[in-house]
């Protein structure tokens, strides 16, 4: 089981897709060659919002080749937090930017979780 986002380095994804079909859910799902499934996700609460603001690159470039880079960073101000996920294979790079906004004490963190 992967415990941190950068533990995905060396893994081969057989599927990577954005799941935005449910109200208040905006996630990236990864299915690994060994069958394990993970998500970059946020559990929404009543007074905050976390969405994928942009994806630069093609998620298909992450499929079929080992992940060679997986980096996470963030920037925040009083009410917003941007979380950046950068992934790469020999096929190309993908940058995923989440935006979290709140006007209270609710968490706006994005988690890398096993499904």
Q: How far apart are the first and last CA of the chain?
A: 11
> What pLDDT does 101 receive?
82
> What pLDDT does 78 receive?
79
> What pLDDT does 88 receive?
98
Share of the chain above pLDDT 70, in %: 84
Q: Which residues of the chain, if any, have pLDDT below 50?
A: none
The pLDDT tens digits of the residues spanning 23-56 come to 556 889 999 999 999 999 876 666 677 888 899 9
Token couple for 103: 């006007």
> What pLDDT does 110 receive?
84
> What pLDDT does 41 receive?
83
Contacts of residue 43, Cβ cutoff 8 Å, sequence gap at least 6 = 111
Beta strands in the chain (DSSP E): 13-19, 27-32, 37-41, 48-56, 69-76, 80-89, 92-102, 111-114
Measured distance CA(107)–CA(54) in Å, rounded:
20
Q: Rounded to two decimals, what is the model's pTM?
A: 0.86
> What pLDDT does 8 receive?
95
């Amino acid at each position: 089981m992967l415990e941190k986002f950068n533990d995905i380095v060396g893994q081969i994804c057989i599927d990577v897709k954005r799941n935005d079909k449910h109200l208040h859910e905006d996630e990236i799902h990864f299915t690994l060659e060994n069958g394990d499934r993970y998500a970059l996700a946020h559990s929404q609460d009543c007074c905050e919002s976390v969405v994928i603001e942009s994806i630069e690159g093609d998620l298909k470039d992450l499929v079929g080749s080992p992940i060679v880079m997986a980096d996470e960073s963030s920037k925040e101000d009083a009410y917003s937090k941007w979380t950046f996920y950068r992934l790469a294979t020999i096929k190309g790079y993908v940058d995923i930017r989440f935006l979290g906004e709140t006007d209270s004490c609710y968490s706006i963190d994005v988690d890398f979780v096993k499904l």
